Amino acid sequence: MTFLHQSICISPQNTYPEADFSQWKASNNNLLEVIEPAYPGIPAGTRRRMGKSVRMAVGAALPLLENVKQPDGIVIGTANGGMEDCIKFLNQIIEFNEGLLTPGNFVQSTSNASAAQIALITKNHKYNITHVHRGLAFENAMMDIVMLLKENAHSGYLLGCVDEISAYNFNIDRLAGWYREETVQNKDLFIGSFNGSIVGEGAYMVLVNNDMENADAKLAAVKTLHSVHVDEVSESLSKFISENIKEEESIDLLITGENGDIRLTPYYEQIESLFPESIPVARYKHLCGEYFTSSSFACWLSTEIFKNKQFPPDILKKGKVIKPIRRILIYNNFRGLQHAFILLEDVNPH
């Protein structure tokens, strides 16, 4: 069994150091940028040299590692790493004719920079890996740890993910039609029929092991799929449910990665139709925006619901929450090709 212990989420909303569901931050020019904390655990000199994605990842990881046994590995998921620093370095190659380049931009731009910096700062010389799988980067990192824990039952790992808004990538994706041309507030993201969504960013870190004691949630199962066919995705989820939930039981909440892009609506409608009307459906991307590892925000949100026994009403799409939420299914769809199912359970249901 795999359990999640503690977690930190740096996001566009008030999620760190304490979660505040009372007031949501609005998007600005179709961007939802993170609310960065002061990062007290990172020395000022080191912090100034860090790229944004590395800063977010390290800032989310260090508080978790202060008073615990050193993890047996650091497993991070990301899609672009520090893309903004990468572009700066490539521009320098042209500007200085391959002369005196700034090595810091190169070092901060690599995809594994976040995992490496966490290891260097905490002097962790154990398993260290970064999964770079676009919209399934977080889920692949999660599955890596599940397999590691099956092989090493008494070990523990740091699981995380990070993605930043890169102006370069944002413009390319906007021109490709993945983000709205017209300005839209995130509170109005699901009104009307439009192509594209709004862009977001964030970092998420959590300690994972096989120990149920003091856990925030149980990771019951995770599965990924590449497909453009709605029926194939629906059949895959039906099989996932039958394999991981007893016939007489059911989920208590479905959280979907619906992002306001009308082209992806058929997937979400088909998934929702698999469950009775009594199962409430929620969504979250109007809070964090669309980015490669955004399903981690839904994972953090689920553990907060379990821990605090509170349900933020602003995420509800349909149905009513009329009983304690003990089992949550997260379905995320990235650009109609990459699909992920994450099943989480409350370990303290009373």
Tell me the pLDDT tens digit for each residue of 131-188: 999 999 999 999 999 999 999 999 999 999 999 998 888 888 999 999 999 999 999 9
Per the model's pLDDT, the better-predicted residue between 281 and 50 turns out to be 281
| CA-closest candidate to residue 289, choices 186, 187, 159 | 186
Q: Is residue 187 included in any domain, yes or no?
A: yes
The pLDDT, as a whole number, for residue 88 is 66
Cβ–Cβ under 8 Å, residues 71 and 154: no
Could you tell me what percentage of the chain is helix, strand and coil, using 3-state DSSP and rounding each to the nearest 5? Answer: 35, 25, 40
Q: Is residue 350 included in any domain, yes or no?
A: no
Q: Mark whether 188 and 224 lie in a shared domain.
A: no
Q: Mark whether 195 and 223 lie in a shared domain.
A: no
Tokens of 326: 């003990």
How many domains does the structure of the chain reveal? 2
Residue 289 has pLDDT above 70, yes or no: yes
- How many alpha carbons lie under 13 Å from residue 170 in its C-beta half-sphere? 21
Q: Mark whether 227 and 177 lie in a shared domain.
A: no
Residue 303 CB partners (closer than 8 Å, separation 6+): 4, 7, 206, 216, 217, 344
Measured CA to CA, the distance from residue 348 to residue 326 in angstroms comes to: 9
DSSP-assigned beta bridge partners for residue 48? none
Which of 209, 235, 258 corresponds to the end of one domain? 209
Which of 189, 209, 229 corresponds to the end of one domain? 209
Which of 209, 236, 264 corresponds to the end of one domain? 209
Q: Is residue 266 included in any domain, yes or no?
A: yes
296: domain CATH number? 3.40.47.10
Residue 260 has pLDDT above 90, yes or no: yes
Domain that residue 200 falls in: 2-209
DSSP-assigned beta bridge partners for residue 341? 223, 331
Task: Please tell me the pTM assigned to this model.
Answer: 0.93
Tokens of 107: 């070092």
Residue 107 has pLDDT above 70, yes or no: no
The pLDDT, as a whole number, for residue 103 is 65
Tokens of 147: 């397999």
Q: For all residues of the chain together, what is the average pLDDT?
A: 92
Q: Is residue 214 included in any domain, yes or no?
A: no
| CA-closest candidate to residue 330, choices 300, 295, 304, 306 | 295
Q: What is the pLDDT of residues 52-94, one digit of tens each?
A: 999 999 999 999 999 899 999 999 999 875 466 666 667 767 7
When pLDDT is cut at 50, 70 and 90, the band that residue 40 belongs to is confident
**Dihedrals phi, psi of 330, to nearest 5 degrees:** -105, 125
